[in-house]
Amino acid sequence: MFSKDMLVGILLSCAKVQFKIIRTDELKIGYKPIVGLSIRGKAKFLHGVQRSLLHWGVYSSYHNEESSSRPKPILYISGIMNLNKVINNIPDNLESRQGEWITMDKVVKMLVNKEHLTQKGLDKLLELKGVI
């Protein structure tokens, strides 16, 4: 198990932000944002991170193999509420090594507030993604 400060450091240094916008007929707007975090590492390390995240009320999924072409363990954190809990536990003045946390923070807040369901919200998401 990791302390809160250790877990914050692990998330900022090891977690990779997954952010994509896919076409779908489920929503009137026609597009759906997908956001998540992935952490790669040894199985024992990832199980420790997973247990520590449960103390924050964050549920994650562990896979022994990411894919058939990459047979290494991976931990996924997805779902708006889980990501919101992660972001709320990260201090505002800290930034990840890849500089993705500010963008993820904005995207998750938009999803929580349901701003992504409007054309204006979609345009802002595309702007954050760097498409426009």
95-125: pLDDT as tens digits: 776 777 888 888 888 889 988 888 888 888 8
CA-closest candidate to residue 106, choices 48, 6, 49, 35 = 35
Domain count, the chain: 1
CATH of the domain at 70: 3.10.28.10
What are the residues whose beta carbons fall under 8 Å from the beta carbon of 1, sequence distance 6 or more?
Answer: 48, 51, 52, 55
Which domain range does residue 67 map to?
A: 4-129
pLDDT band at 23 (very low <50, low <70, confident <90, very high): confident
Phi/psi of residue 75, nearest 5 degrees: -120, 125
Please tell me the predicted confidence (pLDDT) of residue 21: 83
CA-closest candidate to residue 46, choices 86, 6, 7, 73 = 73
Phi/psi of residue 64, nearest 5 degrees: -65, -30
Query: For residue range 25-64, what is the model confidence (pLDDT) as tens digits?
Result: 877 777 888 889 999 999 999 999 999 999 999 999 999 8
Rounded Cα gap, residues 58 and 62, in angstroms: 13
